[in-house]
Amino acid sequence: MSFPLLTATAALPAIGAIATAAVPAARRTAAKWLALLFSLGTLVLAAVVFLRFEPGGDRYQLTESRAWIADFGVRYELGVDGIGVALLGLTALLIPFVIVAAWHDADPLETKSTRWRPTQGFFALILMVEAMVILSFVATDVFLFYILFEAMLIPMYFLIGGFGDRAHAGTDESAATQRSYAAVKFLLYNLAGGLIMLAAVIGLYVVAGSFSLSEIAEARANGSLEMATSTERWLFLGFFFAFAVKAPLWPLHTWLPNAMGEATAPVAVLITAIVDKVGTFAMLRFCLGLFPEASKWATPVVITLALISIVYGALLAVGQRDIKRLIAYASISHFGFIILGIFAMTSQGQSGATLYMVNHGISTAALLLVAGFLITRRGSRLIADYGGVQKVAPVLAGTFLIGGLATLSLPGLAPFVSEFLVLVGTFSAYPVAGIIATSGIVLAALYVLVLYQRTMTGPVQESVRSMPDLRARELAVAVPLIAVLIFLGVFPKPLTDVVNPAVEHTMSDVQKKDPQPEVEAAK
C-alpha cells in the first residue's frame, strides 16, 4: 500500500497537538473537543492498521523507509509486528478516555491572562505524547526509536510538574514543591537511562554499521555480522538499563510512585498504562532481537529482579495510605510479571507478557480513572478519609470494584488470561521462579480488597455523605473500559492471533524452544 498509514497514524495526534495549542485562550471548550476529535481520528486509523495487519504474513508490515540523516546511516524506517500493533491499538484506545476523564483538570489553572492558556497546553501535551509513543512502537530504526524514547520525556515532565494533582490532604510540604520534585525525579531517572542507551546505540552502529533492524537481522543471518561476546553483553546492558528504568524494574522504580502520586489520575494513566509500556516493548524488540546471546546470559539476573519487583511492589502496595501510590506500587508488581514472562524465554510467557501489557493498561486505566473521580469529589488521596462510599455512590463503588478485581486478575476479566500464561510459561522453564511469582497473586488480592473495604464499605463518613455518583461523562469513561476488560477476559483470541506469530519470531531470534512436557499425553 502506497499510503503511509503508520506515519499518518502518528502524525494525526501531532497535528492535533499543534491545532489544540493554537486555539484562542477564550475557547477552552473548543480546545477540549478538538483534542478529543483528533484522538478519535487516531483511534480510527489505528483500527485500520489492526485490520490490515496479517498475523501470518511478514514480520514487519506496512513498512516505510526514507533517508533521514544519510551521512550517519539514519533512516526514517517504520514497520509494525504483532506486538507493536497490539500496543499501538492500546495507546489509541486509551487516549480518548484520558482526554474525557481529564476534561476539567486544567480548569483550576485558568486565569484572566490571554497569554497563559493551560487548557490548550494540557491537551496538546497529551496528544504529543500519544504521537511519540505510537511512533516508537513502529520505529524499526534504532536511532529513530532512541530520539522518540527521549523526546517523550519533555511533554511528560510538564504534565507532571505543571498540571499535577491538587489533592494533597495530609501532606506537610507544599503541593507545588511535591509536584516539582516528582517531575524532576522522573526526568532525571529517565534521562540517565537514555544517556547510557545513547552510548550503546553508538556502539551498535560501530559494530553493525547500521541502525536498521532489518539490515542488522540480514547481516546476522548471512554471517557478515559477528559480535564479540563481551561487546554484545555491554551493548545489551546499555539498552536494558534504559528500558528497566522506563518499565520500571526494581531497583530503578522509585520515580514511579512519586510521578503517579503527584500527577492527575489521567496523566498517571498516561504514565503507567502507555508510556511505561515502551520499556517492556523495547525489551522484546531490541534486547532479545539485537542481542540474543546476551539476553540468555542475563536471564537469571533479570528473572531475579522481576521476582523482587513482583513481591516488593505488592508488599508496599499493601501498606500504602495513599490511593494513587497504592496503584503505583501495584503497577511495579505487574511490570515484574511482564518482564518475568519476557525473560522466561517461552512462547506462553512472552505471549502472556504481551497480553499483560495490553490488559494491564486497560485495567489500570479503569481503576485509576475511577479513583480519580473519587479523589476529585473528596479532595483527598488518603484512604483514611473515605468510608461507606458504596452506600452513597453505588455506581462509583461498583466500577471501582470491577477495576480492582481486574487488577488482581480475577478469572473472567482480561488480566487473568495474561497472568495465567506468564505463570504457565515461567513454571515450564523455571519452576521455582513460578512458585515465587504466585505470591504476587495472593498479595494482589490483599491490597485490592483491603483498599475497597476501607474506602467503600463500613459506616458512611460525614465527609462523603453528600458525594454524588458517577455522572454521564464519567460513565462514558468507566463503562467502555469495563466492557473491554470483560470481552478480552472471555474472548482473548483477537489479540492472541495477532501476538503469537510475533512471539514465534522473537523465540527464533534467541534460538529458544518451549520445554517438552515431562509426562507424555495419553494416546
Tens-place pLDDT, residues 398-441: 999 999 999 998 999 999 999 999 999 999 889 999 999 999 99
Closest of 395, 418, 330 to residue 368, by C-alpha:
330
| Three-class DSSP category at 253 | coil
At 326, the amino acid letter reads L
State the amino acid at position 266 in one-letter form.
P
Q: What is the DSSP letter of 68?
A: E
- Residue 174, pLDDT > 80, answer no
Cell of 274: 502507555
**Backbone dihedral region for residue 57 (phi beyond 0: left; psi -120 to 50: alpha; all else: beta):** beta
Position 510 confidence tier, pLDDT thresholds 50, 70, 90: confident
- pLDDT digit string, tens, across residues 67-84: 888 877 788 999 999 999
Q: Which of 272, 217, 256, 190 is nearest to 508 (CA)?
A: 217
Alpha-helix residue ranges (DSSP H) falling in 139-228:
142-151, 153-161, 175-208, 213-221
Report pLDDT for 105: 82
CA 459 to chain centre: 36
Residue 459 has pLDDT above 90, yes or no: no
Choose among 402, 404, 385, 407: nearest CA to 458. 385
Q: Which three cell numbers stand for residue 2?
A: 502506497
Tell me what the mean pLDDT of segment 128-143 comes to: 94
Contacts of 523 (CB under 8 A, 6+ apart): none
**What mean pLDDT do residues 341-346 have?**
92
114 or 508, which is more confident: 508
**Residue 80 pairs with which residues in a beta bridge?**
61
Report how far residue 203's alpha carbon sits from residue 209's, in angstroms, rounded to the nearest whole number.
10
pLDDT at 505: 85
Provide CB contacts within 8 A for 431, sequence distance 6+: none
pLDDT for residue 142: 92
What is the four-CA torsion angle of 218, 219, 223, 227, rounded to 10 degrees?
A: -130
Distance CA 343, CA 386 (A): 40
Mean pLDDT over the full length of the chain = 89
Virtual CA dihedral for 262, 94, 405, 468, nearest 10 degrees? 70
pLDDT of 223 > 90? The answer is no
First to last CA, the chain: 48
Per-residue model confidence (pLDDT) at position 169 = 46
Mean pLDDT within 380-395: 89
Q: Is the separation of the CB atoms in 283 and 339 below 8 Å?
A: yes
pLDDT class of 170 with cuts at 50, 70, 90: very low
Report d(CA 381, CA 394) in Å as an integer: 19
Q: By the 8 A CB rule, do 352 and 338 touch?
A: no
Q: What region, left, alpha or beta, does residue 410 occupy, with left being phi > 0 and alpha being psi -120 to 50 degrees?
A: beta
Grid cell 533512516 — which residue? 75
Q: 385 with 461: CB under 8 angstroms?
A: yes
Neighbours of 298 (CB within 10 A): 18
Q: What size, in residues, is the chain?
A: 523
Which are the contacts of 364, defined by CB distance < 8 A and separation ≥ 6? 269, 272, 273, 327, 331, 334, 407
Find out whether 268 and 104 touch, Cβ atoms under 8 Å: no
**Residue 226 pLDDT class (50, 70, 90 cuts):** confident
| Closest to 335 measured CA to CA, from 360, 304, 352, 371 | 360
105: three-class secondary structure by DSSP: coil
Question: What is the phi/psi pair of residue 97, to 5°?
Answer: -70, -35
Between CA 81 and CA 55 the distance in angstroms is: 8
Signed CA dihedral, 27, 130, 13, 149: sign only: positive
Sign for the pseudo-dihedral over CA of 127, 488, 478, 447: negative
**Residue 459 — left, alpha, or beta (φ > 0 → left; ψ -120 to 50 → alpha)?**
beta
Query: How many C-beta atoms lie closer than 10 Å to residue 107's C-beta?
Result: 12
